[in-house]
Copies of this chain bind each other. A is one copy, B any other.
Amino acid sequence: MPSQFAIARSPRLRSTPFHDRVVAAGVHSFTVYNHMLLPTGYESPEESYRHLLESVQIWDVAVERQVEVRGRDALALVELMTPRDIASCRVGQCKYAPLVDEHGGIVNDPLILRLAEDCFWVSVADSDVLLWAKGIAAGRGLDVAVHEPDVSPLALQGPLADEVAEAVFGTWTRALRFFRFRETEIDGIPLVVARSGWSKQGGFEIYLRDGTFGAALWDRIVDAGLSYGIRPGTPNLIERIEGRLISYGSDVTLEHDPFEAGLEAFCDLDKPAEYLAHEALSARRARPPLRRLERVVVGGKRADPNGDFLPLHVAGRAAGRISSMAYSPRLERNVALAMVATGLGQRGLQVTLEDGSQRDVAVVGEDWGASADS
């Protein structure tokens, strides 16, 4: 949601290799993510949502920075950072893996790509995982090199992404399985192409390995996509809430553990490798969490997305907070993700929106089926 405030530019907020193309395409707002400018809109979120669900979009998501971990102890370091089993990750495979500290707090929720037996990319959400990894490595004296390479992802998302990928990269992309990647190049531009992305509409993430080719890569994909109706887009708030895709720093923070975040499925608590969170998470799994990230529906008329956390209450008692909210034109209701206290029965939940209106809130299941009125 663009605010009424301008963003002040400075080199500290790095622009991406696709910046000129993004500006030329008519971007109207940015957020900052990993010290970089992330485009957040070209048209209305609703219009972009509709297009994403039926066509194909190109997203500048170069802010997904890679933390490259390479060397004899690379696997050991990555294992230390996450409760997910990484040893079983094959070269050419990606795993979504919450990074968790020694107190059970989530540091980030990256995709981890294994480029070689001794080389990983940790493709991070918004926190300096680079510094955490460097700190652990230095503290342990591990034999690894940890750095941020010149790698900038572009996403190709939407039901027609396969057509565009085939046109640009070749037929092999059709056979690429979910969360698998291949190193390749086109026109001398070095790339990694993965079937992945921060939407549920399918598609690819294309990791550009040399930022000087940003405009060339963008143009190549847009040219190939024109006949499929490709448009510039961004991670879409409505679509990603519907798909329960977590925005780290909003929906989940260092204050939350994987049980609260609903990320148990991405933890292998008894994995053979040593990891920092082992003791903390083993203790926590014995008891149900006091709060959980839930899909909720906010009653009443169409609400604007929130700029800040929205506290939840039940009969005047604090009961959690909504972190991400948007009106879904498809579901015709306000959908949201909220960290909800588990002890209060989740009945009678209310929220006060930024426009001052008081709304009923209902925890719903995967299908967003229940409504705030039920």
Interface set of A (CB-CB < 8 Å, partner B):
1-13, 15, 27-33, 35, 40-41, 101-102, 107, 126-129, 131-140, 247-250, 276, 305-309, 323-324
Contact = CB atoms under 8 A, between A and B. Distances in A.
A166 B41 CA distance: 48
Nearest to A19: B308
A56 to B, nearest CB: 23
B11 A134 contact: no
Majority secondary structure, A binding face: mixed
A10 B250 contact: yes
A8 B12 contact: no
A153 B41 CA distance: 33
B13 A30 contact: no
Contacts of A30: 5-8
Contacts of A12: 31, 33, 126, 247-250
A332 B305 CA distance: 46
11 contacts: A1-B10, A2-B6, A5-B6, A5-B27, A5-B30, A6-B6, A6-B7, A10-B307, A128-B132, A137-B139, A139-B139
A248 B126 CA distance: 18
Contact of A131 (B6, B41, B127): B127
A200 to B, nearest CB: 20
A28 B9 contact: no
Contacts of A31: 7-8, 10, 12-13, 32
A215 to B, nearest CB: 15
Contacts of A139: 135-140
A8 B13 contact: no
A21 to B, nearest CB: 15
**Residue of A28, A132, A135, A137 contacting most chain B CB atoms (<10 Å):** A135
Contact of A129 (B4, B131, B140, B307): B131
A276 B138 contact: yes
A307 B19 CA distance: 12
A101 B139 CA distance: 11
Nearest to A35: B249
Contact of A132 (B28, B29, B134, B306): B134
B8 A138 contact: no
A134 B307 contact: no
A138 B274 CA distance: 13
Contacts of A35: 126-127, 249
A308 B135 contact: no
A136 B27 CA distance: 40
B41 A8 contact: yes
Given A3-B7, A10-B306, A12-B250, 6 more contacts: A6-B28, A7-B32, A10-B31, A11-B324, A135-B135, A135-B137
Given A30-B8, A307-B10, A102 B249 contact: no
